[in-house]
């Protein structure tokens, strides 16, 4: 079987918590967690905590995002 999930290796010295990611990005920890759950930001859940890297957070911040709510589906 071909697993389509990207294989990201995390370096221990690069890992940051959601609280650190929140301070860097200006986004709430809850919002960052939801972005990681849906795959918009690369992250990993270890136990009950989520981790990521500053690089992955900045990659997301620097992308162009559509502002506002998603349009309703007909």
> Which tens digits make up the pLDDT trace of 20-52?
999 999 999 999 999 999 999 999 999 999 999
Average pLDDT of the chain to the nearest whole number: 84
* pLDDT beyond 50 at 2: no
Query: What mean pLDDT do residues 48-71 have?
Result: 86
Residue 9 has a pLDDT of 65
Rounded to 5°, angle at Cα 72 from 67 and 74? 150
| Contacts of 68 by beta carbon, 8 Å cutoff, 6+ apart | none
Residue 35 has a pLDDT of 94
Rounded to 5°, angle at Cα 52 from 32 and 69? 20
Q: Which domains does the chain have, with CATH numbers?
A: 12-62 (1.10.10)
The more confident residue out of 26 and 69 is: 26
Is-contact 63 52, C-beta < 8 A? no
């Amino acid at each position: 079987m071909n697993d389509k999930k990207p294989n990201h290796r995390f370096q221990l010295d690069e890992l940051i918590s959601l609280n650190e990611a929140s301070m860097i990005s200006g986004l709430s920890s809850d919002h960052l967690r939801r972005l990681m759950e849906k795959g918009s930001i690369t992250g990993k859940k270890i136990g009950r905590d989520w981790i990521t890297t500053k690089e992955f957070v900045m990659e997301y911040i620097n992308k162009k995002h559509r502002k506002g709510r998603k349009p309703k589906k007909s």
